[in-house]
Amino acid sequence: MTRLDGHFIKPGSIPADRLDPEILIGGGGAIPDGAVTPAKLSVALLSRFAIVTWNEPVEIAPDTKTLGLQFNDLLGQPMNVAHIIRITCDERAIMTVGNEGVSLSGDNSSDLIAQTDATGLLTLTITCNENTDIFIAAGATQLSPMLDCRTPAQLTFQQT
């Protein structure tokens, strides 16, 4: 990285000949200066963006599984915050909110709105009495923050 590359020291902000040659521009740390990455965001800014991730489903019975939704930040770290989210799935399945999180509407249906607990976790119990794959999608709704819900969950039900 050059001393005046238009990033860390922007053009015109300070003449190059006024810098002490001993001053190391560029930080010298693990994260190079000059480009904004999620790792450089302040905690306050990082908390503005939430990414929906899904935990591994657990089979309770052939027609019943539990599934956890976790909000992570842009660094992939769990967000200890309660957020509101809308969750929908195939109409052949029914979702209810489990021990973590609170149902706000639509509990025991294929279209519910819920709030995660203070650790950013929401557990769902999904029931389906067919042999099929069920996709579950999350999305922003009223009072949601900036959300990345691109990753859906997929559950395979196999009745015995």
Partner 1 sequence: MPIEDAVAPVQKVTIDEMAQEFADKFAIVTFGTPGAEADDAIAVTIQLKNPLMQDLAVKERIRLTCTSGAAMSLVDAGNGTVLAGDGTEDMIIETDETTGSFDLQVDYADVGDITVVGGATQGSGFVSCGESLDLTFA
Residue 24 vs 146, nearer CB to partner 1: 146
Q: Does 67 bind partner 1 (CB under 8 A)?
A: no
Single residue of 2, 16, 27, 38 touching partner 1 by CB under 8 A:
38
Residue 88 vs 103, nearer CB to partner 1: 88
Q: For the chain, how big is the Rg over CA atoms in Å?
A: 23
Distances (CA, A) of 50 to 25, 35, 116, 160: 33, 21, 12, 38
> Quick count: other Cβ atoms within 10 Å of Cβ 96?
17
Residue 118 vs 143, nearer CB to partner 1: 143
> CA-CA distance, 152 to 3, in Å (whole number)?
44
Q: Does 84 bind partner 1 (CB under 8 A)?
A: no
The pair of structure tokens assigned to 25 is 């521009």
> Quick count: other Cβ atoms within 10 Å of Cβ 12?
8
CB of 86 to partner 1, least distance (A): 7
Q: Does 37 bind partner 1 (CB under 8 A)?
A: yes
* Positions in the binding site for partner 1 (CB under 8 A): 7-10, 12-14, 34-38, 49, 74, 86, 88, 137-140, 146-150, 152
